[in-house]
Chain A
Amino acid sequence: MKYIDEFRNGTIAISLSDKIAELVKGFRKITIMEVCGSHTMSVYRYGLKRLLPPNIRLLSGPGCPVCVTPVSFIDTAITILHKFANEIIITTFGDLFRAPGSSSSLEKEKAKGASVVVVYSTRDAMKIAEKNTDKKVIFLGIGFETTTPTIAASVLEAERSNLNNYFVLTSHKTMPHVMEALLRDKELNLDGFLCPAHVSTIIGSRPYEFIAQDFHIPCVIAGFEPLDILQGIYMLLEQIVKKEAGVKIQYSRVAKCNGNPTALAILDKVFEPCDVEWRGLGLIPKSGLKLRNRYARFDASKVFRILDFGFRIDSGIQNPHSASNGCICGDILRGVKTPSDCKLFKGACNPEHPVGACMVSGEGTCAAYYKYGETEP
C-alpha cells in the first residue's frame, strides 16, 4: 500500500538499527518514553525493542485513551443506562465497551439486555440517532486531541441538521499537560519523548516547545510505522548525545508546526479546557476538554443531570475499587512500573478477564505485553 509499505522495509530497519547502535555505543543508559498507545503497539508488533541496543530503554506512556478514562466515567454511563433504560441508546468505541467500571462494564450491561452499540465513529452514532428518533442516542467521547475534533465536528453537524436526539458524554484529555505532569514526577527520569503522530497532526509541534525549553527534554513527533519510530528514536538520540533539546518532526508528511488549523478551530468552537481526572494519575488541572455552554443541549452530563446521581466525572475522586484489587495500571501509565511487576498480570488479569484498563484496550501496555511477550533486550 502506497505510503505505508515504504515505511515497513526490513532491510532499512536493520541499517537504522546499526546507525542507532553506532551513535550510542559506550553511552550511558537512555530512557525514552513513547507517549502514545499506537506507538506502543507498533513497538511490540514489529519487535522494535530487539532492534535497539541494550542501553536504550523504551517506556510506554499514558497515551491510551481507554487506559486513562476514570472508573467514574464508565459508572456514570452505566447509571444513565439504568435510569433511562427505555429512552436511550448508548454508543461507544469498541475498547471502551469492555473497560471495567467499579462493578460492571458496558459489555456486561449489554449482555443483560441494555441498549449499547459499538460504533466506529460519531458518524455511525449520528446515523443511529437519525434512524431512532424515539430514542436519545448518547455517544461516549473519550480520547485526546486527535479524537476530540471528530466529536466537535459531530456536534456541529448535529446542530446544523437539527438532530435533537444526539448527545455526547465526554472525558477528553490533552497530551502536553500530562507530559508536563510526568516530568514533574520525581520517580521518572526521562531523556526524551517520542511524541504522538496523530495528536501532533492536530496540535502541531509548538505545544511541546515548553518541554524542550523549560525541562531540557528533546521531543520528536514520529509516525506510527516501524521506520518512522526507529528514525524518530535516532533523531531523539542525536539530540541527547549532543545535549541538545528541541522539538523535531520526523512525521513531516502529515504533522506540521501549526498542526491542523481547521480542526483546531472546530475543536475550540465546541470545547473549552477543564480540570480532569486521569485513571491512575489523578486530577491534572486544565488537562481536559469539556463542551462549551453554548452546546450544553448536546452535553449528556447536563441533559441527564448526572450531578443528581452523585457523580462528578471531573471530580478527581478515585473510585476505591480502582486500586484496591492490586492493579498497578496507574504506575504503568506513569512509566514507573512494567506489567511484569504486577502480580495480577497473566493470572487474574488477562485479555478475556481484564482487571485494569491497560489490559482492556488494544493500545494498553499490558495488552501489548500479553499479546507480543516481554521483549526487553
Chain B
Amino acid sequence: MKLIKINGVTGIAEIGGLQREIGLLLVDNANVGDYVIVHAGYAIQKLDEKEAFKTIALLESYHEMPQDTKSTKK
C-alpha cells in the first residue's frame, strides 16, 4: 500500500482507491510516498523499489530468452 499521510505513529495507506489507517510503530523513517507492506493494521516493512525493479527486470528477462532455449510445453 502507498503511504499518503502520516500522523505521528499512525498513517493513511492506500491501494486501488481503498484507504486504511495503519500503525507505523514497526517501521523506521517511513515517508509519504513510500510503499509499505501492511499486516494486521501495521506497516511491517517499506518496499525497496530498487530491488523490486531488479526482480521485475530478471523476471522479464526469462520471457525474452531466445526461443531455442525453451521447451515447447504450453
Contacts and interface: CB of A to CB of B under 8 A. Distances in A.
Given A15-B70, A16-B62, A3 B41 contact: no
Given A15-B62, A198-B44, A263-B44, A254 B71 contact: no
A150 interface: yes
State the majority secondary structure of interface residues on A.
helix
Nearest to B58: A231
B25 to A, nearest CB: 4
A3 B62 contact: no
Contact of B40 (A9, A120, A252): A120
By Cβ-Cβ distance, the 6 closest A-B pairs, closest first, are A121-B41, A253-B52, A263-B26, A123-B41, A253-B51, A252-B51
A266 B9 CA distance: 14
A105 B25 CA distance: 33
A124 B71 CA distance: 51
Interface residues on B, range: 35 or more
16 contacts: A12-B60, A12-B63, A14-B74, A15-B63, A120-B40, A120-B41, A150-B23, A150-B41, A150-B42, A153-B26, A252-B48, A253-B47, A253-B52, A254-B37, A260-B26, A262-B27
Interface of B: 2, 9, 15-16, 21, 23, 25-28, 35, 37, 39-42, 44-45, 47-49, 51-52, 54-56, 58-60, 62-63, 65, 69-71, 73-74
B26 A149 contact: yes
Contact of B62 (A1, A12, A260): A12
A22 B66 CA distance: 14
B71 A22 contact: yes
Contacts of B35: 2-3
Contact of B44 (A93, A120, A260): A260
A6 B27 CA distance: 25
Contacts of B51: 252-253
B15 A260 contact: no
B48 A121 contact: no
Contact of A157 (B25, B55, B65): B25
Given A149-B44, A252-B48, A231 B59 contact: yes
A128 B16 CA distance: 28
Nearest to A265: B26
B50 to A, nearest CB: 8
Contacts of A18: 70-71, 73
Contacts of A157: 9, 23, 25
B16 A1 contact: yes
B48 A12 contact: no
A146 B41 contact: no
